């Protein structure tokens, strides 16, 4: 059981391989990072023939375990030059798991420079077809056309024009159960898919059996305990389904950690207008959906359906980081325009976090004014969507526009945009930004939980004490959780409810008939981080890249006048495990 | 003394968003919380002037108290 599906785009061939013993216990990020580290030369060009794009469902994906339907995508990132894993919901992960595909590896680049392809994965294996009709099309048109061709239930991974043009902020979009999109957002993986000339990957799991479970009784018991913990915890059981992740706007604003006007200050005068509370009331009043899951089996349902004032659908999966970035960081307090921008970003296939951070820098550069949401919307569809010269600079992300326009306040680490939480006033997340193997990535070690939200204890966000250890523990645990197929929001109950994590481990054990302990899982997390770091070292990175941009150490941030004051040696302690 | 009280998420239901209220000198957070009809175990995060505080922190004139249930995202 369990196969690796390998597609070679150079000679347009494919084969099914048995899973090597060393990969058998891995899934999700653990597997994509292991494969990338084993098979991709770290110094290769991320958009050249030697990079590989790897998709892997998690260890529990396809089972009835709550919130286990996430798909990991991995490659060398064209944005950061580091290894990259980015995971997303949608229907593809569960379909691949049912098809018994542990990983889909795409390698090589077609010889004909102007020919595009699509892949179709089913019980019969994979077919590689030339694609002409949908080239240049935006994502929602691709969904419509593919559903018309292959049926409504077809799973879909697709790139928009940003990915086709190999913009380094391009994402890979995944169709969700309502034919809308979720994204493998970060690190420009859409450009890697574009470099391989694959417009979309369709998936048909008709005829696929259920995912086998070695010990169904044990699994059932553990799954029940796990689901109970998710529903019992106030964050996953009540806060997220009611307000979505955007509940964070107000609390970060109050705590002075909401980066505003391209990270100039830590509070935004218009915060209330873009807050989760306002969004909740707006959605309810307009007949949208307050809660919504990005995949079948999600019981937290942090997503939502946001309508315009006439009750017409605008966007879903409308996340805090996007709203923060286009809102506070760009000084825009018009939630409807932010929602429209979110939808355009989905449609052209560009990372909403990188692009939001980019707009803050673009505004500082004077390309448009702070607060000008109409010009932002125009730029998204007319410049980036159409790939004008300006659009290509902007589509390269925050670092790209910063360089092109000589801006010095450019919030990136390893060239990836810093999201949503000011590292000066929330210092634990600063350590994560600095040290993550992925470049600036809040999900890699979400110190906000303990710095701001009182989840998993409390470490004072304004002090240095305890932050390195906090970030280290979180990054290790996250690497392990990212391998299970679980949505990272299960971390909230897992940090607070003692039965939650053992139940997760029991489910893995029952699924495979193995006997992992808590220590094994921690060791897996450590191992994954070390594999990723080794790849980065061989790609030319060292500890001097584990640093925040200079301005964080020279400019204080209001209201607490906080500054980034970690010494190099203190940051480097992170890797001492 | 005058205290600005800000409520968030579900705490707003049947209450208010923001209010300036008068309290006796020496009042602590807990007294204000209980006075709002909130229970101690409902409280997720207490910020006084944007800094995390314990419920027994004594308020000073013109302080801002922000109260949240346990919330999260990311
Ligand atoms: S909680 Fe949100 S991100 Fe997580 S699985 Fe559910 S909808 Fe997706």
Q: What is the ipTM of this complex?
A: 0.98
The class level of CATH for B2-69 reads: alpha beta
In sequence order, what are the residues at sequence separation of 6 or more whose Cβ sits closer than 8 angstroms to the Cβ of residue A371? A330, A331, A332, A333
pLDDT at A257 exceeding the cut of 90: yes
pLDDT at A151 exceeding the cut of 80: yes
Q: What is the reported pLDDT for B73?
A: 86
Nearest to B73 among A233, A248, A255 (CB): A248
In 3-state terms, what secondary structure has residue A438? coil
CA–centroid distance, residue A228 to ligand 1 (Å): 16
- With a pLDDT cut of 70, the percent of chain A lying above it is 100
A248 and B9 within 8 Å at the Cβ level: the answer is no
B52 to chain A, any CB pair closer than 8 A? The answer is yes
Q: What does the mean pLDDT of chain A come to?
A: 97
Q: What is the reported pLDDT for A1?
A: 56
A455 and B70 within 8 Å at the Cβ level: the answer is yes
Domain borders along chain A are: 3-203
pLDDT band for position B74 (50/70/90)? confident
Q: Which helix (H) or strand (E) holds A227?
A: helix A216-232
| CATH code linked to domain A3-203 | 3.60.9.10
B73 and A461 within 8 Å at the Cβ level: the answer is no
A262: region left, alpha or beta (phi > 0 left; psi from -120 to 50 alpha) = left
Mean pLDDT of B39-65: 96
| Nearest CA distance, A256 vs chain B (angstrom) | 6
CA–centroid distance, residue A300 to ligand 1 (Å): 6
Q: What is the reported pLDDT for A136?
A: 98
Comparing A105 with B73, which gets the higher pLDDT?
A105
Mean pLDDT of A512-529: 96
Mean pLDDT of A292-319: 94
B27 to chain A, any CB pair closer than 8 A? The answer is no
B58 to chain A, any CB pair closer than 8 A? The answer is no
Domain borders along chain B are: 2-69
Residue A300 and residue A236 in contact, taking contact as beta carbons nearer than 8 Å? yes
Which of A252, A278, A322, A454 to mutate to test binding with chain B, by most B CBs within 10 Å of its CB? A454
| Nearest CA distance, B57 vs chain A (angstrom) | 16
Mean pLDDT of B54-63: 97
Burial of A203-232, coded b for 16+ CB within 10 Å and e otherwise, reads bbbeebeebebebeebbeebbebbbbbbee
Mean pLDDT of A245-267: 97
The string of DSSP letters for A259-277 reads -BTTTTBS--TTHHHHSHH
B40 interaction partners in chain A (CB closer than 8 Å): none
What residues are in contact with ligand 1 under a 6 Å CB criterion?
A: A 67, 89, 293-295, 298, 300-303, 487, 489
B10 interaction partners in chain A (CB closer than 8 Å): 238, 242
The dihedrals phi and psi of A308, each to the nearest 5 degrees, come to -85, -175
Closest CA to A78 of A405, A356, A416, A383: A416
Q: From atom 4 of ligand 1, which residue's Cα is the shortest distance away?
A: A487
Note the helical H segments in A246-314: 248-255, 271-274, 276-285
Closest CA to A290 of A301, A164, A11, A195: A301
Mean pLDDT of B17-30: 97
pLDDT digits (tens, 9 = 90+) for A7-47: 999 999 999 999 999 999 999 999 999 999 999 999 999 99
Closest CA to A163 of A349, A396, A381: A349
In sequence order, what are the residues at sequence separation of 6 or more whose Cβ sits closer than 8 angstroms to the Cβ of residue A324? A248, A249, A252, A258, A259, A356, A419, A420
Q: What is the reported pLDDT for A237?
A: 93
B51 interaction partners in chain A (CB closer than 8 Å): 255, 462, 560
pTM of the model: 0.97
Q: From atom 2 of ligand 1, which residue's Cα is the shortest distance away?
A: A302
């Amino acid at each position: 059981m369990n196969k690796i599906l390998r597609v070679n785009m150079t000679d347009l061939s494919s084969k099914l391989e048995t899973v090597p013993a060393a990969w058998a216990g891995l899934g999700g990020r653990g597997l994509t990072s292991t494969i990338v580290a084993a098979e991709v030369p770290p110094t290769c060009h991320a958009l050249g023939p030697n990079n590989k794009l790897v998709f892997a469902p998690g260890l529990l994906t396809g089972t009835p375990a709550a919130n286990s339907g996430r798909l990991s995508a991995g490659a060398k990132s064209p944005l950061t030059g580091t290894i990259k894993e980015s995971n997303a919901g949608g229907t593809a992960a569960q379909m691949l798991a049912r098809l018994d595909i542990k990983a889909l590896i795409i390698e090589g680049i077609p010889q004909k420079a102007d020919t595009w392809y699509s892949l179709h994965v089913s019980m019969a294996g994979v077919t590689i077809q030339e694609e002409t009709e949908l080239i240049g099309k935006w994502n929602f048109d691709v969904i419509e056309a593919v559903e018309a061709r292959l049926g409504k239930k077809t799973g879909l991974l697709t790139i928009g024009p940003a990915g086709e043009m190999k913009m380094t902020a391009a994402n890979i979009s995944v169709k969700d159960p309502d034919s809308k999109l979720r994204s493998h957002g970060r690190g420009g993986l859409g450009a890697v898919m574009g470099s391989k000339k694959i417009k979309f990957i369709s998936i048909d799991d008709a005829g696929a059996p259920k995912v086998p479970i070695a010990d169904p009784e044990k699994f059932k018991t553990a799954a029940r305990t796990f689901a109970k913990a998710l529903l019992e915890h106030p964050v996953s059981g009540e806060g997220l389904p009611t307000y979505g992740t955007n509940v964070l706007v107000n609390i970060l604003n109050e705590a002075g950690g909401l980066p505003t006007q391209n990270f100039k200050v830590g509070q935004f005068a218009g915060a209330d207008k873009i807050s989760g509370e306002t969004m909740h009331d707006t959605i309810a009043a307009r007949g949208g959906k307050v809660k919504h899951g990005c995949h079948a089996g999600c019981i937290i349902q942090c997503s939502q359906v946001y309508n315009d004032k006439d009750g017409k659908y605008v966007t879903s999966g409308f996340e805090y980081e996007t709203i923060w970035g286009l809102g506070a960081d760009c000084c825009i307090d018009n939630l409807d325009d932010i929602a429209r921008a979110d939808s355009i970003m989905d449609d052209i296939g560009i990372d909403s976090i990188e692009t939001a951070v980019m707009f803050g820098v673009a505004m500082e550069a004077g390309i448009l004014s702070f607060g000008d949401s109409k010009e932002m919307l125009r730029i998204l569809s007319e410049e980036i969507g159409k790939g004008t010269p300006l659009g290509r600079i902007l589509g390269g992300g925050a670092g790209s526009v910063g360089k092109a326009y000589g801006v010095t306040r450019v919030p990136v680490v390893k060239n990836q945009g810093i999201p949503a939480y000011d590292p000066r006033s929330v210092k634990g997340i600063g350590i994560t930004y600095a040290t993550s193997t992925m470049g600036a990535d809040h999900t890699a070690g979400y110190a906000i939980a303990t710095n701001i939200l009182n989840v998993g204890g409390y470490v004072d966000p304004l002090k240095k004490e305890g932050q390195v250890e906090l970030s280290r523990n979180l990054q290790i645990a996250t690497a392990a959780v990212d391998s299970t197929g679980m949505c990272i929001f299960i971390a909230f109950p897992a940090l607070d409810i003692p039965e939650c994590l053992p139940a997760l481990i029991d489910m893995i054990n029952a699924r495979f008939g193995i006997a992992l302990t808590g220590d094994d899982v921690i060791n897996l997390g450590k191992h994954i981080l070390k594999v990723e770091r080794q790849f980065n070292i061989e790609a030319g990175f060292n500890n001097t890249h584990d640093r925040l941009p200079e301005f964080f150490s020279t400019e204080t941030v209001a209201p607490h006048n906080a500054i980034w004051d970690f010494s190099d040696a203190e940051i480097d302690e992170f890797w001492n495990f | 003394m005058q205290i600005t009280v800000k409520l968030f998420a579900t705490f707003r239901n049947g209450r208010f968003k923001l209010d300036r209220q008068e309290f006796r000198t020496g009042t602590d957070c807990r007294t204000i919380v209980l006075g709002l009809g909130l229970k101690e175990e409902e409280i997720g995060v207490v910020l006084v002037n944007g800094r995390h505080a314990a419920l027994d922190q004594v308020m000073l004139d013109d302080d801002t108290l922000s109260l949240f249930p346990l919330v999260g995202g990311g």
